[in-house]
């Protein structure tokens, strides 16, 4: 399972990071991937972007955005076709 939304706020146009947790609730997950849309490649980085989970296991996925402008994108987690909307905001100085 993953959250529906992740909001990151940057100060002074710096990068911002946040995280969410993936959990294997109904047995092991042989392989998972967290995909960033190609149009956001380089601006949005996830780590780990792939891996596996034992039954009942969990992994924290870190999302880092390095854009100089605000953006919204959707990450896709497979299996399960879960989506996480990432919103990156620039705070007023």
Residue 83 has pLDDT above 80, yes or no: yes
pLDDT of residue 1: 52
Residue with tokens 């146009």: 13
pLDDT attached to residue 47: 97
Measured over all CA atoms, what is the biggest interatomic distance in the chain, rounded to whole angstroms? 47
* H or E stretch at 32: strand 29-35
User: The domain 5-91: what is its CATH number?
Assistant: 2.60.40.10
What would the two tokens of residue 47 be?
């780590």
Mean pLDDT of 43-48: 96
pTM of the shown model: 0.90
Tell me, what DSSP letter sits at residue 51?
A: E
- Per-residue pLDDT band for 52 (boundaries 50, 70, 90) equals very high
pLDDT, mean over the chain: 91
Give the pLDDT confidence score for residue 80 in this predicted structure. 81
Would the pLDDT of 54 be above 80? yes
At residue 81 the predicted structure's pLDDT band, cuts being 50, 70 and 90, is confident
Q: Work out the burial of residue 31: count CB atoms within 10 Å of its CB; fewer than 13 is exposed, 13-18 middle, 19 or more buried.
A: exposed
């Amino acid at each position: 399972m993953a959250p529906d939304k992740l909001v990151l706020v940057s100060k002074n146009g710096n990068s911002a990071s946040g995280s969410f947790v993936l959990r294997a609730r109904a047995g092991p997950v042989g392989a998972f991937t967290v995909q960033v849309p190609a149009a956001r490649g380089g601006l949005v980085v996830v780590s780990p972007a792939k891996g596996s989970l034992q039954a009942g296991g969990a992994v924290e996925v870190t999302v880092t955005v390095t854009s100089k402008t605000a953006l919204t994108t959707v990450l896709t987690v497979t299996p399960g076709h879960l989506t996480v909307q990432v919103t990156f905001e620039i705070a007023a100085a």
